Amino acid sequence: MLNRVHELDTSLFSSIVSETTEADRQSLLALQSCLKARAGYVYMEIGSHLGGTIQPYYLDPSCAKIYSIDKRPLVQPDERGVEFHYPDNSSSRMLEGLAAAFPSSDHTRISAHTGWAATGYRIPTIK
């Protein structure tokens, strides 16, 4: 796993659909490579949809906790004037997909939160 992250192996994103480009995926892996130097790091993502960009963190035992924050709208307007539709956009769908794709991963490390990001809730500190 460590070598694949350092080599920016974007096949780490292949089990679940991700709306990211190849360059996006390489950038995310470069960040993860920096984080891996610190055991027990925490990853927080805003806008997780199906969990496509969570995959390499979900596979990484060095990642102590994953926070997924997503308002989970059924329709998302885009600045280009297009509306993107997300049917069945739920945290449970994302969590079920991650568990099915990676049955041997520790599923208790992910904490999914829907629609509260703008309420001022503070994520607890991991010690």
Residue 79 in domain: yes
Q: Which residues contact 54 (CB under 8 A, 6 or more apart)?
A: 43, 45, 48, 66, 68, 98, 110
Residue 7 in domain: yes
Q: What is the mean pLDDT of the chain?
A: 86
Question: What per-residue confidence (pLDDT) applies to 89?
Answer: 85
Question: How many degrees, rounded to 5, is the angle at CA 13 between CA 8 and CA 17?
Answer: 150
Residue 124 in domain: no
Residue 78 in domain: yes
Q: Are 45 and 92 in contact (CB under 8 A)?
A: no
Question: What per-residue confidence (pLDDT) applies to 40?
Answer: 84
Express each pLDDT in 110-122 by its tens digit: 999 887 554 555 6
What is the mean pLDDT for each group of 10 consecutive residues in the chain (127 residues)?
Answer: 88 92 96 83 90 93 91 80 84 94 93 69 60
Question: What per-residue confidence (pLDDT) applies to 37?
Answer: 74
Q: Show the domain range for 30.
A: 2-117
Residue 122 in domain: no
Residue 32 in domain: yes
Residue 113 in domain: yes
Residue 126 in domain: no
Question: What per-residue confidence (pLDDT) applies to 22?
Answer: 96
Question: What per-residue confidence (pLDDT) applies to 29?
Answer: 96
Q: Please count the structural domains in the chain.
A: 1
